[in-house]
A and B are shown apart, each in its own frame.
Chain A
Amino acid sequence: MIQEPIIALEQVSKSFGHGSKAVRAAHDISFALHPGRTLALVGESGSGKTTCARLVMREYRPDSGRILFRGKDLNAIGAAGLKEYRRAVQMIFQDPFASLNPAHTVDFILRRPLALGRPHLKGRAVDETIADLLRRVELNPGAVVRKHPHELSGGQRQRINIARTLAMGAQVIVADEPTSMLDVSVRLEVLNLLNEMKRDLGVALLYITHDLATARYVAEDILVMYAGQIVEWGDVHQVLTNPQHAYTRLLLSAVPDPEIRFDDPGARLDPRAVDAIRREARLLQDRVVEIGPNHFTRQAA
């Protein structure tokens, strides 16, 4: 049973620049984040993924459209409502080496958000909560709590980042390529941890990536973006096994696959066909086609 969305974007658009030079960074974007579910946002660099993340983080205001928090328009919930929103919506960044203050210990890094997120905690209760948070992200509190970020590996730092979002009492986590700078063997641990946050704590996740295989691993639903538009969306298995939009198909055909050698006949991507798909996908895709109960695509009219 899917719960009511905690955040919903309704026909949100955002462009940068003016007049003929305006760049359509996000056009007519609608999606919802539900507690205990992960929505993957995939697409190449420049497709608008990070613009969507920043709209959700309220770093950008939409040019048009609405963002709803528990059903209420963000523009109408007032200062107290926005404060609650900011507390509930937390972000994990791509670069675990740049996203923790190098001058502070892990203890300090977690104490600050706890003071903001759970001000009723005092004294020993704070220490215990920090230890609990570290255990929850599978770190040994005794071993890391006094350390500085440079003494930790990339995977450990990303765990601290996750613990920090939990310290704030995050209900929504926006994770922008959270594993792309980690070693392959550590990536899975972080993905498994995000899956646990979702399952055990009912966190809603917006998982931004260009890696379709990890999207399939963590998400229930997927949005495929190209040139600022969502070209295909729905159930992750439906979209990835029965792609309808030419761009989704192109993206899937280019994913590294040990079953297909470059010299296999038929494996070759034709550069001219690729260019044609890109040109076509840059046009306004304003005709929504329903493929199945939870699978849609947009086509140029």
Chain B
Amino acid sequence: MTVNPLLSVQNLTIDYIGAETDFRAADDVSFDIAPGEVFGLAGESGCGKSTIAYAINRLHKPPALIRRGRILFEGQDVLDLDDRALREFRWHKVAMVFQSAMNSLNPVLRVEAQFHDLLKRHRGYSKAQSRERAAEMLRLVDIPPERMRDYPHQFSGGMRQRIVIAICMALDPKLVVMDEPTTALDVVVQREILQRIDELRRSRGFSVLFITHDLGLMVQFCDRIGIMLRGNLVEQGTSDQIYHRPQHDYTKQLWASFPSLHGHPARLERASG
């Protein structure tokens, strides 16, 4: 039985236009994300993984140019949406959490006001309705609802990141794109947040596109993983395949370039790409 994918990226090719030559950031990239699935994109900086994440939400701006390909969300090409449809698409269908998301909260607004901003605009909620929804979402990410009266600076970095995730999920998006969402946090907080997202996606059924350079973390969290190298998706497979039976030399080199906590502490050599 095959399930229709929620997101289907097909032959996506993106260039950054330069004065003399173009830089190909994504070259004929294709992958699907099923409903409820966590799909990981791994690779080093400059490999194109963030460019793809931006394009999915149509957040790419010149000099980025989509040369070819389609981004189908529930069968509809995101690249064809007009402004009005795009507004509906963002937040409702796809929400995005960035690495520095904890700094994207408005410092002069209480947390409840930031929920209300979104819920009033997209759902026409009253303040009381927004407060109720905010309380529900904060509980999901283990933040006491009474703290919605506080300002962002009154929370730790990990709590702010969880608040952003709660705001992202307030409209029940079907896909949450997370670009290095926990890289700036320490490992215990990182684990707490991702573990919570893992529980939530199981209970609420949303999909996740998870971007990180940490392959070990990716295997823990993702169902399937794609490995990117210089704009090309060189390998994709289940987490188990990518970890136990990597096929592409670059994937093998990436694994070898991580010192592990448990393996043999021999001298390691870099991945040469």
| A pairs with B | yes
Interface string of A182-225 (1 = CB under 8 A from B): 01111111011001000000000000001011101100000000
Question: Which of A9-17, A76-84, A249-257 lies at the interface?
Answer: A249-257
Across-interface contacts of A257 in B (CB, < 8 A): 216, 220, 261-262
Tell me the chain B residues, 194-248 only, with Cβ under 8 Å from chain A: 194-195, 198, 202, 213-217, 219-221, 239, 243
Partner of A210, one of B157, B186, B243, B267: B186
Contact A184 B198 (CB under 8 A): no
Q: Decide if A183 touches B259 in the complex (CB within 8 Å).
A: no
Q: Quick check: B258 and A262 within 8 Å, CB to CB?
A: no
Contact B192 A271 (CB under 8 A): yes
Closest B residue, CB atoms, query A192:
B267
* Of B44, B192, B262, the contact of A185 (CB 8 Å cutoff): B44
- Is B260 in the interface zone, CB < 8 Å from A? yes
CB of A99, distance to nearest CB on chain B (Å)? 18
Docked-complex contact B261 and A255, CB < 8 angstroms: yes
What chain B residues lie within 8 Å of A101 (beta carbons)? none
Partner of B187, one of A214, A255, A268: A255
A26 close to chain B: CB less than 8 A? no
Q: Which residues of B contact A45 (CB under 8 A)?
A: 157, 186
From A217, A259, A268, give the contact of B259 (CB < 8 A): A217
Contact B253 A185 (CB under 8 A): yes
List of B residues within 8 angstroms of A262 by Cβ: 194-195, 198, 220-221
Instruction: Report the interface size class on chain B.
Output: 35 or more
The verdict on A151 contacting chain B, using a C-beta distance below 8 Å, is: no
Inter-chain contact B186/A44, CB cutoff 8 Å: yes
Q: Across the two chains, which residue of chain B brings its CB closest to A182?
A: B45
Pair B260/A189 contact, Cβ less than 8 Å: no
Which chain B residue lies CB-closest to A263? B198
Which residues does chain B contribute within 8 Å of A217, judged by CB atoms? 259, 265, 268
**Does the CB pair A254–B220 fall under 8 Å?**
no
Determine if B74 is an interface residue (Cβ-Cβ < 8 Å).
no
B11 on the A face (CB < 8 A): no
**A218 CA to B217 CA in the complex, in Å?**
21
Q: Report the minimal beta-carbon distance from A35 to chain B, rounded to whole angstroms.
A: 21
The answer to whether the Cβ of B270 comes within 8 Å of any Cβ in the partner chain is yes
Q: A260 an interface residue at 8 Å Cβ cutoff? A: yes
- Whether the Cβ atoms of B220 and A258 lie closer than 8 Å is yes
Docked-complex contact B259 and A256, CB < 8 angstroms: no
Picked from B157, B198, B216, B271, the residue with its CB within 8 Å of the CB of A258 is: B216
Q: Is B261 touching A216 in the complex (CB atoms < 8 A)? A: yes
A7 at the interface (CB under 8 A from B): no
Bound-complex Cα distance A210 to B257 (A): 18
Q: Which residue of A lies closest to B273 (CB)?
A: A185
Residues 213-242 of chain A: 1 if any B CB is under 8 Å from the residue's CB, otherwise 0?
A: 110110000000000000000000000100
Chain A residue at smallest Cβ distance from B221: A262
Interface residues of A in 92-127 (CB under 8 A from B): none
Taking a contact as CB atoms closer than 8 A, the residue among B194, B220, B221, B260 that contacts A213 in the complex is: B260
Asked whether, in the complex, the Cβ of B220 is within 8 Å of the Cβ of A261, the reply is yes
Q: Is A269 an interface residue (CB 8 A)?
A: yes
Nearest Cβ on chain A to B103's Cβ, whole angstroms: 14
Q: Which residues of A contact B269 (CB under 8 A)?
A: 188
Name the residue of chain A whose CB is nearest to the CB of B187. Answer: A254
How many Å lie between the Cα of A184 and that of B214 in the bound state?
8
In the bound complex, what is the Cα–Cα distance between A268 and B44 (angstroms)? Answer: 29
B192 and A213 form a contact (CB under 8 A): no
Q: How far is the CA of A259 from the CA of B219 in the complex (A)?
A: 8
Given A44-B188, A210-B187; A184-B260 close (CB under 8 Å): no
Asked if A288 CB lies within 8 Å of chain B CBs, one says: no
Closest to B213 in A: A184
Q: A183-B213, A210-B187, A260-B220 are in contact. Are A269 and B257 (CB under 8 A)?
A: no
Smallest CB separation, A138 vs chain B (Å)? 11
A263 to B270, CA, bound (A): 31
Please name the residue on chain B nearest to A212 by beta carbon: B261
B258-A213 in contact (CB<8A): yes
Known: A188-B259, A188-B270, A256-B220. 20 other contacts (CB 8 A): A45-B157, A183-B44, A184-B44, A188-B257, A195-B267, A216-B261, A217-B265, A254-B188, A254-B191, A256-B190, A257-B216, A257-B262, A258-B243, A261-B239, A262-B195, A263-B202, A269-B191, A269-B192, A274-B188, A274-B192
Ordered by A's residue number, 10 sampled pairs between the chains whose C-beta atoms are within 8 Å are A45-B157, A183-B45, A184-B254, A185-B271, A186-B270, A212-B187, A217-B259, A250-B188, A254-B190, A263-B198
Residues of A within 8 A of B (CB): 44-45, 183-189, 191-192, 195, 210, 212-214, 216-217, 240, 250-263, 268-269, 271, 274
Closest 9 CB pairs of A and B: A44-B186, A256-B217, A217-B259, A258-B219, A256-B216, A185-B271, A254-B191, A254-B187, A262-B198
